[in-house]
Structure formats: C-alpha cells, structure tokens
Amino acid sequence: MGSLSNREKEIMLILIRADRYVSAEEIAKILHISNKTVYRDLQSITKKMDKSVICRQPGKGYYVNKDAVSDTYSKKMADEYFAGMDSEKRRCHLMVLLLLQTPKKTSISRLSEYYYVSNASIVNDLNDIEKKVKQYDLKLIRAHIGTYIEGTEVNIRKALMKLLGYSFDFFQENAHINKETYTGLFKEFSQEDIFFIEKLLKDIEEMLDENIREPYYINIFTHLIILIKRLNHYKENDISERFDQKSIEFKSPAILSIAKTIMQKIAEYTKLDVPVIETFYIYQYLISSGIKNEKVVEFQKDSMSESKEEAFIGNLVQRVSEKVAIPFNEDVSLKNNLLLHIQPLTKRIQYGIAIHNPLLEEIKKEFAEIFATVQTCIEEQDVFPEFKKLSQDEIGYIAVYFQTVLENKLHHKKILIVCSSGVGTSHLLGARVKRTFPEWEIVDIVSAVKINQARDWKTVDLILTTVHLEKQKVPAVLVSAVFGEVDVIKVKNALVSQNL
C-alpha cells in the first residue's frame, strides 16, 4: 500500500466512520475543498490501496468496505490523532468524553488504549478532572464497577457547554465546523449528526428570516449536538423537576412555534422522545440570541419613560466617559448599538446562558484600557446589580462597542506634515503615514519656517512634525521621519486624549 497524503487520510477517516454512503459533495463540504479535488484524491487512494477498499454507488456516493480494511488499519486511522495529543488537550477531551457518555462506565485500561498512553497517565488525568468537575457540582466516581461522572443532567450540560465552547477550536471563525476537530477530536459526534444540525440551523434561519450571528450560532449548535448525544442517557425528571411548567412564560409565540418545530425534527431524526422541557431550552437560546423577534426600541434621549436597559446604558456610558475623558455620552449610535446587545443579554442572565467570546484574550491585550474601564464601571453601577458579576466574555463584547467609537475617530483625518527643510525626509514621512493610515488626507507638507504662512486651519485636524514647534492652533505630535510603532501609538493616544 502506498503512503497516503494527510488529506487522503482525512477522506479515509470520514469514510471509515460513516455507516452509510457519503457523497463527494459531503466530503468536499467537510474538508472545505472542491468536488474535483475529492474525486482526484479518491482516485489516488484507489491506486495506493486495494481497489476493493472503496465502494462507489452512483447516486449514493462512496463507502469503505470494512471487510477489505483490517481492524488494525481502521483503528490506527481513527485514533492517530490521539498519538500526538498533549496532556492538557487530552484531559479536556477525556472530560468531554466522560460527560457525554455518563452514566455509562469505562475503565482506566480502556482509556489507556483509547488515548495511546500509560495507565499512570490516565490516573493523573483523572486526578485533574476530579478537581475540575467539582466546580459544576459533579463528582468523578472511580470504583470497581468502573469510572464515570455522577451528577444532574443540568450540571452535566453546563459543563459540556463550557468545555466545547471554551476548550476546543470546535468552530472556525465563520462559525462552520472545524474539520480537524470534527474528524479527529470528537469521534463521539458522527458526521451525520453534524450535517443534521447544520441543516437544522439553516431551517431555523429561514423560519426567522435572518442569519443567526456569532457567538449565538455556536451556542445553539453546541446545545443541540449535546442534546442529541445525551438523549440516550436522559433522565427527564432530573431536569423538569427543577421547573414549574405552568410558571414558564413564552412572550413570543413565533419563537415558541420555531422551538417546537425544532424539537419535533430532532425526535424524528433520533427516533427518541424529546422531553417537553427541551422546547423551553431552545426557546431560551433563540430569544436571547439577539434575533429581531421583538420590536427593538431605539435609545430615547431625555425620555421620561426610559427602560431599565436604557438607564443602565446611560449610566455606563457616562461613567466610562468620565474615566477616560472622552464624550461617549454624546454618541447616540453607540447607545443604540449597546441597547441591541443589552436587551438579549438581560435574557441570557435571566436564563443562565453563557456565551463564549473567542476574541477575549486579544481584546484584553489590544484594548486593555477600555476593557478594564468598562469592567470597573459595570461593577460600580447599581442599575443592574446582576451585571456586577458579568463574565469577561460578555464584558469583552461590550468593550468592543466603545473601542469601535475610538477607532472611528482615527479615520478620515486631515493631516499637515511639518519637517525641517529636507524634502526627502518629509516625503518619506508622508509615505509612511499614508501606508499606516490610508484613509487620511495629507493636506500639505511644509517646512517649519513656513508653517505660519496664511492657512485655513479648519481644514487641518492634526499636525505631524519632526521638529519641535511652538503651540499651534491645532494639536501637534512630534514624530520621527521613519514613523515607527512608537510614533503610531503616540498619534493614536493624541487623537483619543484630545477627542479629535
């Protein structure tokens, strides 16, 4: 047998795991390649392996002849991902595995074979997991009858939602499934389940007549894949007893209808009874995902009957404005955008729904001052006491709205460049400024001695100068001719601090 390329191995992995024929179009979709590439790779695989390995049925697709592929080879293909997995990622995956299959029991030796590591490594992994599950009020049981996680279905779901959303790159930036994670990391999620839920989400978007935005798409997808996987282990009383069905209020009949349709389709797909409370769960996710299911009221300036959300936003914007000395409170667009975010946020708080912010660390690093200021102001406000303990993921999204206003201040500026007398130096600076801020207009490049000549200062927002100047009618920033990173930071700080 010839050596398969990495992509050919991925194709084989998809076919080995499938319990049905898989079309070239499906394979292309999973791997984000063209149908033509799939056909070419399948021909290559057929040449490198026995021709009886891959079966083709016109109109159906391709299927691996399990009899023609040894169990050893199938297992090696299916599990090769685990061979190079580091301990941290393995522990996250193992915790997900245990949560998905509980109350089904496993053993240390079985897990050792599964992950290609020693029994001692699995024991260390379980010691780490035992501590982590406690934060979800769950318990890792290790007894002679087997190893499993014990706890309520509600807490099992909470742990799975956080792990799938936070610990793994389960989704790509465009909210589609990350093929490497899907084909390698989670063998527990069949491609058929993945396809079904992707189709279901498309149906939901058609019923809503709008796209579900990130991170809500990821939240709903993750909830549904967990639901399908957990149905076989479901104990309805474990969840429904926590709710008084009569006390549940559905304010949006349209969303409730969609939620019921979704549960009906899942029941038909799984051929299992779906507990009634699941309709309420998916209703919660939809109603708190920022979809336009209700009339959105714009922020009313000086309104005598402002909502609690408007009061919170007004309070927050005022506090942030005072702390950073920038008049955010004069920006009505900012308030309207915050209102669109805060309205579903209040529902997420009410229903205990957490969202993951994949850009959180980048936001905290790149927009550190705004993030810290917003976090402090939210903790200090008393309009929404329940927001005082808002997650950093949510704070990160709110901080971005403020940062966007700051970034907009950097666009479309009119710049006057001042140098000593060197024409070459001045034009070097001009070229570098234009490359860094392509939307800026350089109104003129002059020498220091000519800066006081007759000029309409209303057409200049900022002076960039390579020489020290006396105080001018518009702000000036001293920079070097090479206009490096330090100079860029100085200019941005000047624009922000002087509210330009």
pLDDT of residue 168: 41
* Whether 91 and 71 share a structural domain: no
Q: How far apart are CA 196 and CA 189, in angstroms?
A: 11
What CATH code is carried by the domain that includes residue 401? 1.10.1790
Looking at the structure, do residues 65 and 46 belong to the same domain, yes or no?
yes
Query: What does the pLDDT average to over 55-64?
Result: 86
Residue 297 is assigned to a structural domain of this protein: no
Distance CA 299, CA 264 (A): 38
Distances (CA, A) of 200 to 94, 172, 195: 28, 19, 8
pLDDT at 174: 41
Neighbours of 166 (CB within 10 A): 15
pLDDT of residue 371: 93
Instruction: Classify residue 229: in a domain, yes or no.
Output: yes
User: Are 195 and 242 in contact, with CB atoms under 8 Å apart?
Assistant: no
Q: Token pair for residue 209?
A: 């007549």
Q: What's the confidence (pLDDT) of residue 73?
A: 56
C-alpha 443/C-alpha 460 separation (Å) is 7
Q: Is residue 302 part of a domain?
A: no
Query: Helix (H, G, I), strand (E, B), or coil: what is residue 33?
Result: coil
User: Which uninterrupted H or E stretch holds 31?
Assistant: helix 24-31
249 plus 313 within the same structural domain: no
Q: Which of helix, strand or coil describes residue 69?
A: coil
Top-confidence residue, 292 or 334: 334
pTM of the shown model:
0.60
**Distance from C-alpha of 496 to C-alpha of 44, rounded to nearest angstrom:** 58
Whether residues 11 and 95 share a domain: the answer is no
- Here the tokens at position 301 are 């300036």
CATH code: domain of residue 425: 3.40.50.2300
Kindly state whether residues 116 and 56 are assigned to the same domain.
no
Cα-Cα-Cα-Cα dihedral sign, residues 255, 259, 260, 264: positive
Average pLDDT over residues 127-155: 92
Nearest to 228 by CA among 198, 267, 259: 267
322 and 278 in one domain? no
Query: What is the band of 231 on the pLDDT scale with cuts at 50, 70, 90?
Result: confident
Q: Is 222 part of any domain?
A: yes
Q: Are residues 107 and 121 in the same domain?
A: yes
Q: Are residues 74 and 88 in the same domain?
A: no
Residue 175 lies in a domain: no
The model's pLDDT over 464-473, given as tens digits with 9 standing for 90+, comes to 888 888 888 8
- Among 264, 291, 318, give the residue marking a domain's end: 291
Among 51, 78, 105, where does a domain finish?
Answer: 78
Question: Where residue 106 sits, what CATH number does that domain have?
Answer: 1.10.10.10
Taking 90 as the threshold, does the pLDDT of residue 268 lie above it? yes
- Please determine, for residue 95, whether its predicted confidence score (pLDDT) is greater than 70: yes
Report which DSSP code applies to 414: E
- Here the tokens at position 139 are 């318990």
Cα separation, 222 vs 154, whole angstroms: 15
| Residue 156 CB neighbours (<10 A) | 24
Could you give the number of structural domains in the chain? 5
What CA–CA distance (Å, rounded) separates 420 from 480?
A: 12
Do 114 and 163 belong together in one domain? yes
Q: Where are the alpha helices (DSSP H) in 367-484?
A: 368-380, 392-408, 423-436
Q: Using alpha carbons only, what angle is made at residue 146 by residues 73 and 105, rounded to the nearest 5 degrees?
A: 65
Q: What is the residue range of 15's domain? A: 6-78
493 and 456 part of one domain: yes
Q: Are residues 286 and 193 in the same domain?
A: yes
The mean of the pLDDT values for the chain is 79
Three-class DSSP labels, 325-385: CCCHHHCHHHHHHHHHHHHHHHHHHHHCCCCCCCCHHHHHHHCHHHHHHHHHHHHHCCCCH
Residue 465 lies in a domain: yes
Q: Which of 17, 47, 78 is the last residue of a domain?
A: 78
Residue at 89 is within a domain: yes
Give 387-409 pLDDT, tens digit per residue.
888 999 899 999 989 988 877 76
Is 178 within a domain? no
Indicate the angle between helix axes 35-48 and 6-17, nearest 10 degrees: 90
| Residue 68 DSSP class | T
| Domain match, 323 and 275 both | no
